[in-house]
Structure 1
Amino acid sequence: MASVLIRPPVPDDAAEWFDFVVEQQARTYQGIVRPDFAQAQCAFRDSWVPGLAQDFADPGTARRLIARQEGQVVGVASIVDAPDDWEVGAGLVPAPASHCLDRLYLHPDFQGQGLGSTLLANIDDGHDLYLWLIDGNAPAQGFYRRRGFVDEPEHFPTSESWGEVPMHRMVRRAA
């Protein structure tokens, strides 16, 4: 198996990043989110890809990595400032930490091989951190619990494009 190249994404990665995330979300949450989830998310592609390209060109305080093997995206990870605009709009403030792990997705062929741990370790600065987890994603929940994240008791519905399925936050406090 060829080695995996891990680096910060550049603007030219934006379309592949978007497509990869939607594909992995649809695969990960199959049977949990609405059946036409991927199609609903792809409706945002033309508006979100330019924003991603801009974010990749000027990441500010966000920390992102893309993992490729033989030119194909096999993993992505992203930590951003919190709360996000959608959280503020939904009244989900204050955020439990100043940063949110908003993406950590791997191609299934790379799960359980340490790539997720490597990506997280390379963007995580060890400060308080939280993430949103779709209820019913037991493998991810276990992954994060092993890394010190604790489930918050509240549950909120996702957006309509996700089928309004319940989600909750997991928080990890710095030692």
Structure 2
Amino acid sequence: MVPDHVLAAFDVDKRAEQWERIRRSGTAKTFVALDHGVVIGFSSSGPTRDPGAPVDRELYALYLRGSFHGSGIATALLDAAIGPDPVALWVFDDNPRAEAFYRKSGFDADGARRLEPFSGVMEVRMIRRQALGTAPDRVRE
């Protein structure tokens, strides 16, 4: 979904430093899912970064390797990151798989839209008002 030229400019070391700063700040919760000791996905949440959000928490990221889609691990990562709190998230506008997953997980689009700063791709905001499940043992903070 992200244009090739944007991905080509992605600096892995710089992004790793950003995630380390987030981890050390103590304001975000980040979880990883492992399969035989190999990271297969992660989720992260914390205080909303959007002053217009109708809730106080935001899901910052949820990624899972494609070979694990449909396994229930994405739901576990989601539940681990946000728990019972009402939460907002931003998802690429033209991403029907992700939007369907979030709707199944209790989220609804609230009409807010923005350009994602890194990729320039349009995003829509979705809100979940209550929790729907719990995380299994494979997900760790």
- Scaled by the length of structure 1, the TM-score of the pair is 0.67
2:137 corresponding residue in structure 1 = none
> Partner residue of 2:62?
104
Question: For this pair of structures, how many residues does the alignment match?
Answer: 131
Kindly provide the CA deviation profile for residues 33-62 of structure 1, in whole angstroms up to 9, marking residues without a partner as x.
3222312222xx343322322433x35242
| Amino acid corresponding to residue 65 of structure 2 in structure 1 | H
Q: Greater relative contact order (Cα 8 A, min sep 6): structure 1 or 2?
A: 2
Partner of 1:74: 40
Cα 1:157/1:65, change in 2 over 3 Å: same
Please give the root-mean-square deviation of Cα atoms over the aligned residues, in Å: 1.9
Structure 1: 5+ residue runs without aligned partners?
1-28, 88-92
Q: Give the stretch that moved more between structures: 107-116 or 93-102.
A: 93-102
Runs of 4+ in 1 over 3 A off after TM superposition: 45-48
Q: Secondary structure at the match of 1:64?
A: strand
Aligned position for 1:65? 31
Equivalent position of 2:130 in the other structure: 174
The percent of aligned pairs where both chains have the same amino acid is: 29
CA distance in 2, matches of 1:142, 1:113: 15
Higher relative helix content: 1
Q: Name the SS of the counterpart of 1:152 in structure 2.
A: strand
The equivalent residue for 1:41 is: 10
1:48 counterpart SS class: helix
Name which of structure 1's ranges 71-80 and 59-68 shifts more when overlaid on structure 2. Answer: 59-68
**Could you tell me how far 1:102 is from its partner in structure 2?**
0.9
Q: Is the 8 A contact 2:43 2:77 kept in 1?
A: yes
Structure with the higher strand share, 1 or 2: 2
Alignment of 1:63-142 (within 5 A): 63-83=29-49, 87=50, 93-142=51-100
